[in-house]
Amino acid sequence: MGLLRRAFIFTVILLLVVVAGLSMALYIIQQRHGQIITEESYAVQRLEITDRAALILAVQREAVAATLLEPVDHQTFAQQTAAFQAAMKTPLLVSTPQGGQQQHSILVGQEKFSRRALHLPPHPLSAQVQALRAQGEMVFTALINFRARHAINLATLRTSEGEQRWLSFLMIIVTTGVIVILAISGFIMLDRLGRRQSEATALRATDKLRREFVAFAAHELRNPTSAIKTGVSLLREPDVDPDIRLQVVESITRSTDALERLISNLLAMGRSEEGRLQLHRVAISISSFFDNLLAELSIYHPEIEKRVQRQLPDALVDADPEYLQLVIANIVDNAVKYSPPSSPITVTGEIKERMLAVHLHNLGPGIPPEELPRIFEMYETTGTAPYSLRRGVGLGLYMARLLIEAQDGTIWAESRPNEGATFSFTLPLAQIPPNETAAMSDVTE
C-alpha cells in the first residue's frame, strides 16, 4: 500500500511538472507568435504604403512620357509628389539603418525627378523625355527593392501557429489527465474519509449503546434479583402467613422468568450475530402452541389467557419451538407493557402463498410514526412503558426479528396514534401430509 501511494504521488508530481513545463513553453511560443503577428501586421502596412507610392510614381512616369504630346499638369504633378513624399516619410517604413538610407535615397531621387519634370519646356525634345524617364525608372527600381524588404513571411507565421496548436493539444491532454487523476484521488480520499468518519461514528454509537446496555441490563437484572432476594428472606421467616408465602413464591417465579427471558434473549442474540444459531425445526400447530404458551405465561402475566382473544387457523408451521416461544413471549410481553390492564389483545392468522401470517393487536397508545421503522433495531424502545414498572432494554423485538428471519419469515409492525399497534410475523407452512401430523400437533418446545 505504501509503494502504491509513493508511485501515485510520484506520478502526480511528474504530471504537474510536465504541465508546468508545457505551460512555460506554450507561453514562450505565444509571446513569439504575438511578436510575429505584430511584425507581419507592420509589414502589411509597409506594403500598402510602398504600393501606394509605387502607383504614384508610375502615374508620374506616364505623365512625363506624355509630355511629347501635351504639357505636364503642374498642379496635379505637384500634388502627386507631395503625396509620394508624405507616404515615404512615414516612420513605420524605417526598421533598420540601411532601410533608412534607402528611404532617404528614394525621397531625394523622387524629388529631383519631380523637379526636372516640372521644369520641362512645353514641347521637350525626345532625348530630354527619355533621360527623365530613365531617372524615374531608377527611382522606381529603388522603391521596388525597398518594398521587397518588407515582404510578408507567411511560412514563419504558419510554423508558429502549428507549434502553438501542437503544444496546446498536448497540454490539454496532459491537463485533462491530471484533472482526472486528481478527481479520482479526491473521490478516493473523500470515500476513505467518509468511511473513517462512519467508522468513528459507529464506534462512538457502539460505545454509547454498550454503556446504555450495561446500565439498562443492570437495571433489568437488579429488579428481579432484588425481588428474589427479598422473597427468599421472607420465606426464611417461620411465622409467615401461608397466603403471603404463596404470593412471595409467585413473585420469585415471575422474577426468575424475567431473568430467564433476558438470558435467553442475550444467548440467542449472540448466537445469531455470530452465525451459530442452530435451528431444530418441526411441524408446530400454531393454535395449540399459543394455548400452551399462554398457560405458561399466566404465571408471569396473570389473566393473560383471558386477555388474549385468539382466532387462529388450524395450520402447521415449520419452526423451531424454543425460538418461536421466545418470539411470541417477547411480543406478548411488549403488548402487556404498552396496553391498559384487562384490555383485549387480539391474535388472528391467515394463510397466504404457503405462509402463515400471525397478527397480534393491542389497544395501547400506539407507536409514533417516526419511531415505527426502528422498533426492531437493537436497543430501540419507545420510551417508558405506561402500564409496567419494568423498563425494557430494547432486545425483545430485536430478537423477535432475528429469530423470525432466521426461520425464513418476516416481521413488521403497524400503528396509528391512539389506535394501538399490530405486530405481525410470517412463518412457512410445514410440508407434512395431514395424516402424519396428529402426533406432532401439540409440540410446544
Q: Using alpha carbons only, give the angle 388, 394, 398 rounded to the nearest 5 degrees.
A: 125
Please, what's the largest Cα pairwise distance for the chain? Answer: 172
How high is the pLDDT of residue 379? 60
Q: Burial level of 359, CB count in 10 A (0-12/13-18/19+)?
A: middle
Cβ within 8 Å of residue 399, ≥6 positions away:
265, 268, 269, 272, 326, 327, 330
Q: What is the DSSP secondary-structure string of 356-404?
A: EEEEEEE-SS---TTTGGGTTSTT---SS-TT-SPPP-S-HHHHHHHHH
C-alpha cell at 304: 393473560
Strands 355-362, 411-415: pairing kind? unpaired
Q: Calculate the average pLDDT of the chain.
A: 79
Q: Using alpha carbons only, give the angle 399, 401, 405 rounded to the nearest 5 degrees.
A: 120
How high is the pLDDT of residue 422? 94
How high is the pLDDT of residue 15? 73
Q: Using alpha carbons only, give the angle 437, 312, 278 rounded to the nearest 5 degrees.
A: 60
Look at phi and psi of residue 307 and say left if phi exceeds 0, alpha if psi is from -120 to 50, else beta.
alpha
**β-strand partners of 15:** none
CA distance linking residue 125 with residue 228, whole number of Å: 153
User: 245 in helix, strand or coil?
Assistant: helix
How high is the pLDDT of residue 222? 61
How high is the pLDDT of residue 441? 42
Amino acid identity of residue 55, one-letter, is L
Mark the ranges of the chain whose per-residue pLDDT is less than 50.
384-385, 387-391, 393, 437-445
Q: Burial level of 268, CB count in 10 A (0-12/13-18/19+)?
A: buried
Q: Which of 312, 421, 294 is nearest to 356 (CA)?
A: 312
Query: In order of start, what are the domains of the chain with their CATH numbers?
Result: 2-163 (1.20.120), 279-440 (3.30.565.10)
**β-strand partners of 346:** 309, 361
Q: Which of 359, 358, 368, 363 is nearest to 337 (CA)?
A: 363
How high is the pLDDT of residue 248? 75
- What is the value of pTM for the model shown? 0.46
Cβ within 8 Å of residue 99, ≥6 positions away:
93, 146, 149
Cβ within 8 Å of residue 349, ≥6 positions away:
286, 311, 312, 313, 315, 356, 357, 358, 359
Is the Cβ–Cβ distance between 391 and 384 less than 8 Å? yes
How high is the pLDDT of residue 334? 86
How high is the pLDDT of residue 391? 47
Q: Which of 311, 315, 295 is nearest to 344 (CA)?
A: 311
Q: Burial level of 243, CB count in 10 A (0-12/13-18/19+)?
A: exposed
Q: Which of 325, 387, 335, 395 is nearest to 361 (CA)?
A: 335
User: 165 in helix, strand or coil?
Assistant: helix
